[in-house]
Amino acid sequence: MTTLIPLRKSPQLDSNIKLRDIINTLPKEVFVKDARKAWLTVIVNLACVTAGYWLIAISPWFLLPFAWIFLGTSLAGMFVIGHDCGHRSFSNRIWVNDLVGHLMFLPTIYPYHAWRILHNHHHKHTNKLEVDNAWDPFTPETYDSFSPTMQWWYRRLRSRFWWVGSIAHWASLHFSWWAHTGKDKEQIRFSALFVIVGAAIGFPALFLTVGFWGFVKFWLTPWIVYHFWISTFTVVHHTLPDIPFKPEGEWNAAEAQLCGTVHCKYPWWVEFLCHDINVHIPHHLTTGIPWYNLRQAHASLQENWGEYLHETEFSWSLMKQIGDRCHLYDVERKYQSFAQYSVK
């Protein structure tokens, strides 16, 4: 039997509380960057990725799924390092952040500046209905305006095929530098061409050395595992049946970042390989906290703001219920499933 996610009746955050008021309760040391910890993370992550490729090379066919999962999860860890770089919480030097970020994103062909700019938009507008760009649920009116094909895709991405959501996001938004202007356009074009050139060199090299099956074995399948985790992390970060999305006129930054972000516990090896990206509430309050200080910051939030926090644990039951219930969002009715909407 599946245990339902209980709808949480947490107290309403006082509207007079500002985001800065919450941030000021965090220990000052959580904002301190530690170069030794940052670079040690890079070394450990690269060692895990190298070990993953080695395991794929030596594993018999029946052990390949374990090697693929290990490597794909380690690649997600590289993304998390690039994520810190994009928020300038890896190094105090912008050029170091950008260099490391580009290199961490290169194996998965992810344009760094495009992701950085779009992701910062998400942080600025978290859970703002029809403005947020990270798993923002569509309203019934927006859904009705789609073509039948788009509706079909949206139904899949919001249900059993959530795990390809980040692939759709990556392909549709991160290479379109012409949709931007000024410095953003130049940076996004550079990052897109950087990974396109990398793929133009790397993919033929793979085909020539290990053939089509080698390409599938060493790159494509780990890449899909990587996107499974990126999709899962990002949808769970802000999606539970009782987490509200507010229209712009009702949106409050403190409420959105503290009460609209989810802390989710994953298996220890996922949290280790992905550098505690699941400890997400303090990161949304302020992106200046490096990953290795997130747990200390979260402990402080539990002590001072615990009644407002959403905390859960990863499970197939959790993903099934998100996929069954969190489809369309109406300001008055909150989340509606596709089934509920079809019989309105």
Give 113's contacts (C-beta < 8 A, 6+ positions apart).
98, 184, 187, 188, 190, 191
In a domain, 104, yes or no: yes
Coil vs helix vs strand at 226: helix
Considering the domain boundaries, does residue 5 fall inside one? Answer: no
Query: Is residue 15 situated within a structural domain?
Result: no
pLDDT band at 10 (very low <50, low <70, confident <90, very high): low
Give the alpha-carbon dihedral of 120, 124, 128, 129, to 10 degrees.
-40
Counting the structural domains of the chain, the total is: 1
Residue 9 in any domain: the answer is no
Which pLDDT score is estimated for 3? Answer: 43
* Domain span including residue 49: 24-342
Taking each helix axis from N to C end, the angle separating 64-86 and 221-237, rounded to the nearest 10 degrees, works out to 50
Does the residue 281 lie in any domain? yes
| Cβ–Cβ under 8 Å, residues 111 and 188 | yes
Q: What is the pTM of this model?
A: 0.94
Whether residue 297 is predicted with pLDDT greater than 90 in this model: the reply is yes
Average pLDDT, the chain: 94
Mean pLDDT of 39-64: 98
Residue 8: pLDDT band (50, 70, 90) is low
**6 in any annotated domain:** no
Q: Quick one: average pLDDT of 101-108? A: 98
φ and ψ of 265, to 5 deg: -90, 130
Tally the residues of the chain: 344
Residue 152, in any domain of the structure: yes
What does the block give as tokens for 239?
């999606």
74 in a structural domain: yes
Q: Which of the four pLDDT bands, split at 50, 70 and 90, describes residue 343? A: low
Q: Taking a C-beta distance cutoff of 8 angstroms, is the pair 253, 23 a contact?
A: no
